Amino acid sequence: MCCYCITHSYCQSIRDYHPLIRAYPAHILRVSDDTVYWKNGATMPLGTSHKATLTPTLTTAELEEWLNNATLRDQIEQPYAALDTILPPKPNDDAGRCRFEPFFEMMYGTSEETVRTNLVPVQWLRGTPDSTRLLFSRVNGAADALQRVSDALARLGAEYRPFLAKPAGTFKWRTIARTNRRSTHSYGIAIDIHLAATDYWQWNHSPEAALRREAIPFKNRIPLAIVRIFEKHGFIWGGRWYHYDTMHFEFRPELVGSE
Ligand SMILES: [Zn+2]
């Protein structure tokens, strides 16, 4: 019952180790074996784990159904590997695509209007000729994290600039293409970098190929140096997903360590 204890110092250290508390200390009070306790008094079930049913042989349609029914426990059970290299992801290894939407709504807002009240400007590539203003959520320090990412990216050599100038977008209240699930762009915690240098799994994999259970060929042009800067500051990269989206980065500090 250590996770319930808020006075014993040893238990306190265990409690604080939970990735949800470490990542979202302004919101999460404690986490028990089956429940997340919010600082606003709300509770949220972790739910059951469906990890055993997430296999490499699931078709894209079956995986979509799995994602549609994901629990909060599923969300935090995915190991996101922030490697110092870029490897083709293993079949159906999509760490981070699994999201329990009520969890994000509680922190960032349940409507376009409520999310907008938390959007603040980030000066993308400030101090360079490509500097531009982007809107990002201030909640959980996401905008501050993106500003740190941007400042580090601006210090990269000129050869990286084509991937970074004219970013494709941050906040947009929308669902993910061909699904009913809300994109994390809706919460103001995701950014798509330059469109022309991106690769998306649906562009290289036809619905007919999916029905034949053919493997999705991996393609990426985003340099590792860019990916590693985002990951250092708590962003996961869509290029680490089997169903890849290489221009996409989202603030998910429960999955990747921020510094
Ligand atoms: Zn995106």
Tell me the CATH number at 242: 3.30.1380
Q: Residue 210: what pLDDT?
A: 75
Are 17 and 106 contained in the same domain? Answer: no
- Assigned domain for 259 exists: no
Protein residues near ligand 1, an ion, with CB under 5 A: 190, 192, 248
Distance from Cα 55 to the centre of ligand 1, integer Å: 25
Run of H or E including 72: helix 72-77
Which amino acid, residue 125?
Answer: L
Residue ranges of alpha helices (H) inside 78-223 are 101-108, 112-116, 142-154, 161-164, 207-211
CB 144 within 8 A of CB 150: no
Q: Residue 10: what pLDDT?
A: 47
Residue ranges of alpha helices (H) inside 37-160 are 60-68, 72-77, 101-108, 112-116, 142-154
Are 24 and 71 contained in the same domain? Answer: no
Q: Facing residues of 136 across strands? A: 120
- Assigned domain for 51 exists: no
- Assigned domain for 98 exists: yes
Q: Residue 255: what pLDDT?
A: 94
Are 140 and 184 contained in the same domain? Answer: yes
Are 83 and 39 contained in the same domain? Answer: no
Q: Residue 197: what pLDDT?
A: 84
Residues of the chain short of pLDDT 50, as ranges, are 1-7, 9-10
Distance from Cα 159 to the centre of ligand 1, integer Å: 23
As for how many domains the chain has, the answer is: 2
CA-CA distances (angstroms) from residue 223 to 109, 128, 233? 33, 20, 17
Distance from Cα 78 to the centre of ligand 1, integer Å: 19
- Domain containing 118: what range? 62-251
Q: Residue 41: what pLDDT?
A: 97
Are 88 and 25 contained in the same domain? Answer: no
